[in-house]
């Protein structure tokens, strides 16, 4: 029996547009509630949300088999964290702040077992192998992993073509918030030159035959990015959705 099929990877690589939501409330109960919504994917944020391996694992379990495919964002490109997140069962990773082809290639190799890469072997203890219930995990896991790297500053944009040329990179996600900050427009991802850079990068990513990702909560921004070819399309954040709804409810009766 092989590793579980990564259906999200296959859908995205076929060119399908898959919409999803950031989940940063860092709780499996809330993740399961979000999984009742008809998103194609839910991204569990290990960079900006208060998550650890236990909470990430619990949210993976809460989402799997409920409809949306789970994605995990790492806090950085540390190979040790990558190994641990893969061992708890994540199959699609989003890795932030990638600026060079060498960094992207090292990140890919951290996800792969030898001889392709250098992921440490511990499947017998790992949720990913269903605790050794998947006998062929070691020889089948690599093909079901999906690496999405984040390009979110000028250095990464400058190296985009080289990053796209890395075979192990399945897709590139453009981070409008961090790119805006690096371009001198912090808090203004809608600034004309930022938006132009985001849209242009998305077009280049799809032209290279790779998955193109972005996140926005602005419907017009989302539509422009979809038209530019974004197919890993983040359209919301649970934290801001929940906080906004709670504040609106309180104001309604004040
Ligand atoms: O730079 C970005 O935009 C992202 O990477 C997404 C943000 O990190 C997310 O937290 C929404 O602000």
pLDDT above 90: residue 80? yes
Q: Please tell me the distance from the alpha carbon of residue 117 to that of residue 109, in angstroms, as a whole number.
A: 4
- Our answer on whether the CB atom of 48 is closer than 6 Å to any ligand 1 atom is yes
Q: Return the ligand 1 atom nearest residue 45 CA.
A: 10
- Which pLDDT does position 1 carry in this prediction? 84
225 Cα: distance to centroid of ligand 1 (angstroms): 15
pLDDT at 249 over 90: yes
How much distance in Å is there from the Cα of 218 to the middle of ligand 1?
13
CA dihedral 32, 220, 197, 74 (to 10 degrees): -10
Atom of ligand 1 nearest to the CA of 150: 5
Q: pLDDT tens digit string along 4-22?
A: 999 999 999 999 999 999 9
Pick the CATH number of 7-253 from 3.40.50.300, 1.10.3720.10, 3.20.20.60, 2.30.30.100: 3.20.20.60
Contacts of 75 (CB under 8 A, 6+ apart): 46, 47, 81, 96
Q: Is 156 in the pocket of ligand 1 (CB under 6 A)?
A: no
* Pocket lining: 215 vs ligand 1, CB cutoff 6 Å: yes
Which residue has tokens 């694992």?
57
Percentage above 70 pLDDT, the chain: 100
The domain ranges of the chain are 7-253
ipTM of the complex: 0.94
| Ligand 1 centroid, distance to 77 Cα (angstroms) | 16
Report the C-alpha gap between 108 and 166 in whole angstroms: 9
């Amino acid at each position: 029996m092989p590793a579980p099929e990564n259906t999200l990877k296959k859908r995205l690589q076929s060119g399908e547009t898959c919409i999803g939501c950031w989940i940063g409330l860092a709780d499996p109960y809330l993740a399961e509630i979000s999984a009742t919504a008809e998103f194609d994917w839910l991204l569990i944020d290990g960079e900006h949300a208060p998550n650890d391996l236990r909470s990430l694992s619990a949210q993976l379990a809460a989402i799997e088999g409920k409809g949306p495919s789970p994605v995990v964002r790492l806090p950085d490109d540390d190979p040790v964290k990558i190994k641990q997140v893969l061992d708890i069962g994540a199959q699609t990773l989003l890795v932030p702040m990638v600026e060079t082809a060498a960094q992207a290639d090292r990140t890919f190799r951290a996800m792969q077992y030898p001889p392709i890469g250098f992921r440490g072997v511990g499947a017998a203890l790992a949720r990913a192998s269903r605790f050794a219930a998947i006998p062929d995990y070691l020889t089948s896991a690599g093909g079901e992993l999906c690496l999405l790297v984040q390009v979110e500053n000028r250095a990464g944009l400058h190296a985009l073509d080289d990053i796209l040329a890395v075979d192990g990179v399945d897709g590139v996600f453009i981070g409008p918030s961090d790119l805006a900050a690096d371009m001198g427009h912090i808090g203004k991802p809608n600034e004309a030159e930022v938006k132009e850079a985001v849209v242009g990068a998305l077009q280049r990513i799809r032209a290279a035959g790779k998955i193109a990702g972005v996140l926005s909560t602005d419907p017009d921004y989302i539509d422009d990015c979809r038209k530019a070819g974004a197919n890993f399309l983040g359209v919301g954040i649970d934290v801001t959705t929940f906080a906004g709804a709670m504040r609106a409810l309180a104001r309604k009766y004040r």
